[in-house]
Structure 1
Amino acid sequence: MAKKRILLKIGSNTLTRETNQISRGKIEDIGRQIAKLTDDYEFIIVSSGAISAAKQFVKLEHNGEEINIKQALASIGQPHLMRIFQENFRELGLFTSQCLLSYSDFEKAESQENIKNTINVLVANNFIPIINENDTVSTDEIQFGDNDKLAALTAALLQVDLLIIATNTDGIYTKASIAKGKPKTITTVSNINDLVQEISLEKSSHGTGGMQSKIEAATIAQKAFIETWIVNGLKDNFINDALSGISHYTKISIQ
């Protein structure tokens, strides 16, 4: 039987465990889960965290625009982020590769074909592609989405079986439950418009996303007939627990 393909999007809050530095323990947790699932699943990762990684090592002086500083930090942090992934995954027998993409890559047929061919070769040879936005030439995700849209576009291009977006909540909560101080997860929904009425427009502390960008990503995935799960990546074993149905998360099903 062919393995099911999962695209896992990991946000900055998950990778840092809501601190000011990348958590090696969280990356090891992700690697351990993937290692357990390799008989049945193949993984492609879209990972934020380059800027957070850089901030552990440098503080840039500047007189220019804030976005330019973030681009520079991403350039410094990306090799560190990949090194942490590579070191932790290699100890688990997993091999990684880096792919940097920008939105213009999804607008040209030739670029789309090159992306698909490259990633298919990597996955066929047991390498896990780790994708991030090419922040040197593109600023969209730095400003707006924390790689949520990038993950959805990649999932649609590769026609994956499932998009998992790891965030810092147990999925999307009902607005009424949040008002009462007792968050309740919306477990399953097919009409995305129903979710729009429930979300907060607040963005997360380390990432640039928030639930708005995740719903936009799920919309892209749904149009490509791909189911999206929004899960709590701060919890250990979050992938396995979601796949086993023993955790609370939001499933945005295909209409």
Structure 2
Amino acid sequence: MAKDATKDHSGGGDPARSLALLWRKQTQAPVRNGRRDLSVDRIVAAAIEVADTDGLSALSMRRVADKLNVGTMSLYTYVPGKAELVDLMLDTVYADTHHPAPEVAEDNRHCWRARLEQVARRNWDLYHRHPWMLRVGVSRPPLGPNVMAKYDYELGTVAGIGLTETEMDTVLTLVIGHAETSARRAVEADGDGESGVSEQQWWAAHSPVLTTLLDHTRYPLAAAVVTAVGRAADDPHHVFEFGLSRILDGVQALVDSRG
């Protein structure tokens, strides 16, 4: 996978044009120099394929046009630029998450933890299917239909359990943020990150040298932990699983305190 040197950000395009595209409300007539097979959906699908294969740094309007075998300028009739295209890509892949019909709110008291854990795992899986998402800052997420559907469903997993609206949003931020951070670490551990070096390769290269240099009498705790972490370098899921359990324990304590 190509290495992404810079980070893109969602919500960077023109708000009116981005929202019109996301909700497919664009009013411009489809005049495409005779190309009736070109569409916003086809452009987005091609862009996602490029990013999945070669990383976000490889994505450009020209690269997408080449993949579709059309002129680059043809794309601009449909999508104003890369910023809007990234928003469309994000909203599209968010639809990959499975959203079963929500059960009645009374049942949430007994199974919210399992549902919230499932949210974390679905986001973890999504980041692994589309690692380029980890290179997009989403502090201002694209407010498209799939983003809103995903958010609405995920809020439902913690509805009716005694949390305020703000707390519900914060819990989701913690859980999904943890899934994102852990997925980034796992992707890098597999050698698919910016360095191109897996966790095992990194430790194999550094551990022998560090062992000879690290003063165990001066740094006893650090030496012991570094050794243990080195041995566990082949388990990229550990941080995700351990952290998720601790976050859910914290939410459980808060819910229990509300009676």
TM bucket (normalised to shorter chain) is: under 0.3
Higher helix content, 1 or 2: 2
TM-score (norm 2): 0.22
TM-score (norm 1): 0.23
